[in-house]
Chain A
């Protein structure tokens, strides 16, 4: 067993090195912009770039739209499946897993053929409707995570009793769904939302092929043309991802604390 413990330490140390060294390397590189000294110049350049601000704001809006559409789509579905339509559960689960099987680039390829400007539903004809298509494509990407998070939350509460209690008190189904069920699966929705945000904010394939001014294509452009800014952007992206995962832990913990007393 002593040897096994030594082996475990070696695995953890080698693993930590592999994961931490690139982070240090990226941070160090991002500070090298001024010759001969370390500075935050690359970050200042990035933050002052109007294209950075515009694309980051655009992708943030996209992420928020994705989350709202995703919640509106997933919460009622999961609720009705749990309450009345149990037989549809395998089908719905299969559909929500499909975006993991079909690569994103294939899905967007299908959109471009199906919704091009000469089709019956020309979604790519104008900028606004392409935005909508991009948001829908992100909802598709986020579907596996969003559905699983909400469905787990939905199973953890007693949907049937809550619904009956609310109905006995005279609530119609919109009230039941949005004022009784929704607050009870809030933590699950928030977890799904932060995961969606982390996925969508730097997404490249969909935004690039639909020609929208999102953060992902901006990253690609900077990566191809600049030396130090890409590292600064990588550090920023890592911080955003870390913040999203941290928030998932925070909202998850808040629930446990509330449940104990």
Chain B
């Protein structure tokens, strides 16, 4: 009796459910999928609308575009590698390092803030610290008679940008890798110790083989994170450092490439780079999750 009465009600509710999720899909189509597809299709067209691969070929042959991608990749690679290593070291210290209890929550809270402290204010902070009249620059000159700018260092350069990006890259690594370090079971360490393994051997043969997908995966996420960033670089270097996001910004503003379809190809290239590194991250993440159960 009850089940027979429940049936039509169920059907009605499923219809409501479809109506309930419709706004989400309409929104996703209008403001995420179709705008992106528009650029992707445009990347394969010439100005007359015919299919062509010439735009994609130009990404490699036009030297200003090639160098923009190359600088972006170098900055992202450097900030992801150092961010990954230093973030791992900090997370290791806080989780396994045997430090006082209060260190870990403090580090996590701070990382939550710092990973969101990006964009223009971050550029201002580093200009005030390491710019030509910044605090650290002046202090070094006053007390050690050492001018970092005489060593060839420049905040408005490749290394300056990398150093600045680390301010949000390191905390992001800390936030994502800490749960993975928590997943290292105490028993594994004990079992390897009983079998006579040294601490180094434990890391070499047990911990790292389990952790490497998470470490490499998160580093790829950091790579994509800095590859798509623009505001910090724009405020820090203006247009003096020709990274691909700044080139695309100029293209959107004033068609500096004198070819709208080449602009679409530029955007498609960015989606491919960030898409590949994010895809690899998700794949590696799935691998590392096997051990976290």
Contact = CB atoms under 8 A, between A and B. Distances in A.
B47 interface: no
Given A105-B245, A216-B231, A110 B39 contact: yes
Given A84-B13, A114-B35, A234-B125, A79 B119 contact: no
A contact patch SS: helix
B125 A19 contact: no
Interface in B124-175: 124-130, 134-136, 166-167, 170
Contacts of A26: 124-125, 128-129
B120 to A, nearest CB: 4
Contacts, number: 255
Contacts of A231: 124-125, 127-128
B20 A139 contact: no
Given A15-B90, A21-B136, A105-B249, A140 B31 contact: yes
B99 A9 contact: yes
Given A83-B17, A106-B271, A173-B16, A25 B113 contact: no
Nearest to A218: B120
Range of interface residues on chain B? 35 or more
B228 A104 contact: yes
A199 B116 contact: yes
A195 interface: yes
Contact of A223 (B27, B109, B120, B199): B120
Given A105-B245, A105-B249, A92 B24 contact: yes
A25 B24 contact: no
Range of interface residues on chain A? 35 or more
A25 B32 contact: no
Given A102-B274, A234-B128, A107 B99 contact: no
Interface of B: 13-14, 16-18, 20-21, 23-24, 27-28, 30-36, 38-39, 42, 86, 89-90, 92-94, 96-99, 103, 107, 109-110, 112-114, 116-117, 119-130, 134-136, 166-167, 170, 199, 224, 227-228, 230-231, 234-235, 238, 245, 248-249, 252-253, 263, 267, 270-271, 274-275, 278
| 5 nearest A-B pairs in the assembled complex, by CB-CB distance | A110-B35, A8-B97, A25-B129, A103-B228, A29-B128
